[in-house]
Amino acid sequence: MSRTSKPRLDPIASSRAPGKIILSGEQFVVLGAPAVAMAVNLYSRVEAWRSESGPMEVSADIPLQIVDEASKKSSVEKNQGLLEPLRLAALATLDHLREKDRAVQLNANCEIPIGAGLGSSASITVATISAVAKSRRARLEKSEIFKLAFVPERYLHGKPSGVDQATCAYGGIIQFRRPARIKRLSIKRPPKILVCDSGVHRSTRALVGSVVKKSRKEIGRFREHLEEVSAVSNSVVKSLKDEDTTDLGSLMNRNHELLRQIGVSTPRLDKLVTVARKAGALGAKLTGAGGGGCIIALVDDPKTRLKVERALRKEQGTLYDVSVDPRGVV
Ligand code: PMV
């Protein structure tokens, strides 16, 4: 942590943090396996300033798309559920800075779809921590931001591994292992990934909870899964370094199968994954907690990309053409 000494009026401080996709190891990372994740160029932005007086005020312009499964109609509601984690992130930051004065006002907005496996909550909380620190003229190390983000992430997810906030804070492509082994990978040619949102949004907490419960009942099966996922994640790192997209694609396919076996995929996600592969993707898998949310497809060649996009659109998927965010929170 460092503070600048220049006296000045309190300005509006702002920070932005990327979203993320997980190339391998989600869910199993909570149980101790390594994961590989990439920060992507969808952002949340948070402004923070010292309010005139009184308590903390948090406002957010974060639309939450709700899909009514019965009527298939979607509506957009204000996402009040994210205000409490933002408040917790701000409080944790002020405590860390030993700031007694709690008067801070926050304004957040987010272009990352919420509850879709793209790390929206981690991105917003990481940006909040950074912005609140800046509003007190302090700059935090990424390792400090990573640690502080456990407070709101625990509130939201119960048992976060930390992979989401690590990726949103550090940016680039990282290999992550609990509790805090974060290795930034130097990859010359990041994978070309297409993200497709199934439109079904869900709770990470419930999904992670169900997998943790299952892992306690089916110890032998999960031990095998963990060994295999560890091997998959290590091979994903190798394929990224070797720029071996064929290998990376099959590893993604295998990872999806393992996620399917532990019950976090859905018929809709399986369908999108199959459609992407049939249209020419080198590999496809769900990304994030599962139960809905997004799939990712690896598509190297521009012509095939168009085909995959067309096929996924036919399935009513919402497409995000993402690229790597190299900077993390700024
Ligand atoms: O919240 P999501 O859907 O972006 O998923 C986070 C990744 C998990 O492995 C499912 C949970 C975690 O904390 O690692």
Residue 1 located in a structural domain: no
Is 27's C-beta closer than 6 angstroms to any atom of ligand 1? yes
Give me ligand 1 centre to Cα 241, in Å: 24
* 176 and 30 fall within a common domain: yes
Enumerate residues 6+ apart whose C-beta is below 8 A from 170: 39, 142, 146, 182, 184, 328
* 37 and 179 fall within a common domain: yes
Nearest CA to ligand 1 atom 5: 288
Residue 315 located in a structural domain: yes
Domain count, the chain: 2
* 142 and 214 fall within a common domain: no
* 72 and 180 fall within a common domain: yes
* 176 and 276 fall within a common domain: no
Tally the C-alpha atoms within 13 A of residue 289's C-alpha that lie toward its C-beta. Answer: 28
Residue 2 located in a structural domain: no
Higher-scoring residue by pLDDT: 70, 151: 151
Dihedral in degrees, nearest 10, Cα atoms 20, 26, 31, 32: -70
Residue 126 located in a structural domain: yes
The mean per-residue pLDDT over the stretch 217-229 comes to: 96
Whether residue 197 lies in the annotated active site: no
Among candidates 134, 44, 130, which has minimal Cα distance to 89? 130
Crossing angle for the helix pair 150-157 and 163-170, to the nearest 10 degrees: 140
pLDDT at residue number 80:
60
Domain boundary among 185, 208, 240: 185
Domain boundary among 185, 203, 226: 185
Give me ligand 1 centre to Cα 214, in Å: 16
C-beta atoms surrounding 111 within 10 Å: 15
What residues make up the domain containing 252?
A: 193-322
Is 204's C-beta closer than 6 angstroms to any atom of ligand 1? yes
* 21 and 164 fall within a common domain: yes
* 73 and 98 fall within a common domain: yes
pLDDT at residue number 62:
62
Q: What predicted TM-score, i.e. pTM, was given to this entire model?
A: 0.91
Residue 236 located in a structural domain: yes
CATH of the domain at 240: 3.30.70.890
* 166 and 246 fall within a common domain: no
* 247 and 305 fall within a common domain: yes
Higher-scoring residue by pLDDT: 195, 12: 195
Enumerate residues 6+ apart whose C-beta is below 8 A from 13: 47, 48, 49, 131, 132, 134, 135
CATH of the domain at 162: 3.30.230.10
How many Å is the Cα radius of gyration of the chain?
A: 20
Residue 223 located in a structural domain: yes
* 312 and 225 fall within a common domain: yes
Residue 7 located in a structural domain: no
Least confident of 25-39, 54-68, 197-211, 212-226: 54-68
Distances (CA, A) of 298 to 31, 106, 242, 302: 26, 37, 16, 11
* 180 and 238 fall within a common domain: no
71-88 pLDDT tens trace: 444 444 445 667 888 889
Residue 329 located in a structural domain: no
Confidence class for position 1, pLDDT limits 50, 70, 90: low
Q: Please provide the average confidence, as pLDDT, over all residues in the chain.
A: 90
Domain boundary among 185, 210, 232: 185
Identify the active-site residue in 95, 101, 164, 197. Answer: 164
pLDDT at residue number 55:
67
* 153 and 30 fall within a common domain: yes
The mean per-residue pLDDT over the stretch 135-154 comes to: 96
pLDDT at residue number 102:
83
Among candidates 295, 315, 81, which has minimal Cα distance to 203? 81
